[in-house]
Structure 1
């Protein structure tokens, strides 16, 4: 209709699905960061020091399986049943962890959380493709990006306060009610999406098997690096196995950076690997070398999170005035520039504020790149492949970050007698450089 207002993600027809979907993303991210804060207390309370690392590695590994299963299911039957199931598994995991009498049971709950949260993100991406017109995709993905970033600002503080006032159990149990409320907001928009898939799409049991192998390899990579003598060699084997296993989980040509969708998936994975591989060690650098308090060191991450959120909001408002291809290119360049500045800080002993400034630059790059790589993935997908490609996108995030964190952990240990921080940041810079070099390839080609 001439003169009609352009639709927005908070227009009356989209407002509740927007709020509910962003709330689900927010709660998944909040839980991840909250657990990082309270896990030392949990471990001490349950006597589970030996399972401490597994409580983090396990959800990351099972999340890959959840992503693949949900993607295949959504292609066959649409996103509704997979979304409900993923939320249900996530809630069950929260309940198990929150009521756990032992560390073993808590880790089992964490495994369920990872399985559910991995499937949840894939299902939400397919819901976005089915509910929102394409011109609103950058805006809703900006909302998702903000929902991931905001918990990094408040999550640790809230989790710490809840633990001190009541108990660490409520960090898990309190989220259950909030997840169910968020789901209620989403349900009205899902009523018209029942079905909608292609029932002739086969169940890919092969891909499921590869996802299990990839998860096991990533999990092993997180655990074998510290084994005296053979740890680095076992880590190399785990990397090779993981790369072989991930190939069937992403579009053909992804590991070769074929133009179009395969390059989008690879660049997204490399960007996530570079950013999160460096981010873990940035507060460590500031506390170890510059004697900053944990609170001050954490402000470097807060700056990056704010920059991510602001950049994601700006690109969402620009819409078609900023092409997705250009946003991905500039985003990777900014991530590379931020990590390169961090390398210089570690290598030349520059002032601590330069590292904090570097992370603002890198965060802005992720805010540009992440929402637009999501939009490109859906734009280059057909209705029959939205589930697979959404799963591939989230697998790239999880797999890339997990691999980078595991390899940097091995590298940090190996270079302990030299300069471990410099080695870790150089590796992250190499990954960011690869993403920036390959970014121009995201704009040509289509399909799976």
Structure 2
């Protein structure tokens, strides 16, 4: 199943045969991590300068919405052409989106730039997953996924602080512009090692499958956009306009559900055992974590008056916790589904706990500690979902299953962020101060996603009919 160069299998992911590839993949993830951490920290300043209004959440969710389409298309292309074309297209699109956001003069242009970057990011992540599945032996894959989370450490340490300082003392535009050379450098590092990779060795049974998935992916992205845009507008509208916009949001959500059922493995939406529940768990946990983190800096700036650089410390704690959790899962022994249950349980407690700690009287360091546990829960659970999906895939469906995992991840984050954005637009009063209760409601609602993740994590166990045992262990 591996198409790496012939010869004795190396001892580790940084041995001679894998070193260049491993460092290149880590550079790609580091680039994505820097952008995610920096943009989250700087976005309150961008929204204030460009007057975002009720559309603050769209700047985050549109990136993820566009990633859905990029993920679907890249997954199908990888199964037919291999990962190289998707990696190249992703690099071009992500760079173009960063340029658009850096030069934007209105907030909607920032949102549009984020959408273009999302297309590229979705394509690149699927390509990376396929590359890992194609080249690394199964024994090294948990280690590599653990290192992918570790690649968040440096950007999580310097990203929020650097972004906060840039936004506060120079310009938020450099938060986007500074990532561009990192994208290009990451691409140049990985390309020489994978340029010999071609199409999968196993033939695709249905050559029209890729086109159908691309159409369903386009419908899904369009429906999600309609649902979140209409929902945000309905929250600030009144009378008949609110009714019409609300109906459009519901129609978009129903259409998205219909399209999603064609893109994910059968049984995912009803939490069927095995692979479907693994993929569902990924989406539920992302819904709770990503949305809660998107509003964390805004809460700290608005209710406590801290500067952007200080607010970024909470995100740093979450990212470091994520790396620690992923490090632990790479060395843990036991059934993988138990890591999903443990991670979901800790995340539900951390997100819900953050919702109860919004009062200014709560010390800032308490929020930092709690959010580090949220990050650790994600590192433990999400890295495990990646390992489980690759273990349950063949070379013929590795791209589709990797894309399904990313679709669930991104759509979960979109759903959570959209729900949080609608609640924010509905409950928040820009002319009033404080309003800690608004953020408490948002995070307590988001904790419910993690609670559902406990159930889906338990159902991700793969039970054999004859023995009743779960054969897949760490």
> Paired residue for 1:205?
211
> Paired residue for 1:81?
85
CA deviations on 1:30-63 (whole Å, 9 max, x unpaired) are 2233344555776788x68578765544332221
- Decide whether aligned partners of structure 1 residues 278 and 56 sit closer, same or farther in structure 2, where only a CA change above 3 A counts: closer
Shift of 1:165: 8.1
Q: Is the 8 A contact 2:268 2:277 kept in 1?
A: yes
Normalising to structure 2: TM-score of the pair? 0.81
Q: Distance in 1 between matches of 2:351 and 2:170?
A: 39
Q: Distance in 2 between matches of 1:440 and 1:27?
A: 33
Q: Is the 8 A contact 2:288 2:446 kept in 1?
A: yes
- Decide whether aligned partners of structure 1 residues 90 and 376 sit closer, same or farther in structure 2, where only a CA change above 3 A counts: same
Shift of 1:443: 2.0
Give 1:228's match in structure 2, choosing from 219, 237, 246. 237
Q: Is the 8 A contact 2:287 2:446 kept in 1?
A: yes
> Paired residue for 1:396?
408
Give 1:299's match in structure 2, choosing from 309, 313, 322. 313
Give 2:394's match in structure 1, choosing from 382, 398, 415. 382
Q: Distance in 2 between matches of 1:351 and 1:199?
A: 57
Q: Is the 8 A contact 2:31 2:186 kept in 1?
A: no
Q: Distance in 2 between matches of 1:337 and 1:362?
A: 8
Q: Which moved more, 1:151-160 or 1:165-174?
A: 165-174
Q: Distance in 2 between matches of 1:167 and 1:299?
A: 19
Q: Which moved more, 1:24-33 or 1:391-400?
A: 24-33
Q: Which moved more, 1:21-30 or 1:277-286?
A: 277-286
Q: Distance in 1 between matches of 2:93 and 2:412?
A: 24
Normalising to structure 1: TM-score of the pair? 0.86
Q: Distance in 2 between matches of 1:217 and 1:348?
A: 39
Residues 254-333 of structure 1: pairs in structure 2 closer than 5 A: 254-286=268-300, 294-316=308-330, 318=331, 321-333=333-345
Q: Distance in 2 between matches of 1:312 and 1:295?
A: 26
Residues 176-191 of structure 1: pairs in structure 2 closer than 5 A: 176-191=180-195
- Decide whether aligned partners of structure 1 residues 52 and 326 sit closer, same or farther in structure 2, where only a CA change above 3 A counts: closer
- Decide whether aligned partners of structure 1 residues 369 and 291 sit closer, same or farther in structure 2, where only a CA change above 3 A counts: same
Q: Is the 8 A contact 1:341 1:354 kept in 2?
A: no
Q: Is the 8 A contact 1:412 1:423 kept in 2?
A: no
Q: Which moved more, 1:12-21 or 1:216-225?
A: 216-225
Q: Which moved more, 1:80-89 or 1:275-284?
A: 275-284
Residues 338-349 of structure 1: pairs in structure 2 closer than 5 A: 338-345=350-357
Q: Distance in 1 between matches of 2:193 and 2:47?
A: 41
CA deviations on 1:220-243 (whole Å, 9 max, x unpaired) are 333222341325554434333322
Q: Which moved more, 1:51-60 or 1:28-37?
A: 51-60
Q: Distance in 2 between matches of 1:247 and 1:211?
A: 11
Gaps of 5+ in 1: none
Q: Distance in 2 between matches of 1:342 and 1:75?
A: 41
* SS of residue matched to 1:432: helix
* SS of residue matched to 1:280: helix
More helix by share: 1
Q: Distance in 2 between matches of 1:44 and 1:437?
A: 40
Q: How many residues align?
A: 440
Q: Is the 8 A contact 1:232 1:410 kept in 2?
A: no
- Decide whether aligned partners of structure 1 residues 217 and 342 sit closer, same or farther in structure 2, where only a CA change above 3 A counts: same
- Decide whether aligned partners of structure 1 residues 396 and 165 sit closer, same or farther in structure 2, where only a CA change above 3 A counts: same
Gaps of 5+ in 2: 1-7, 430-434, 465-474
Shift of 1:294: 4.9
* SS of residue matched to 1:443: coil
Shift of 1:254: 0.4
Q: Which moved more, 1:130-139 or 1:272-281?
A: 272-281
Cα RMSD, aligned residues only:
3.3
Shift of 1:431: 1.1
Give 2:372's match in structure 1, choosing from 341, 352, 360. 360
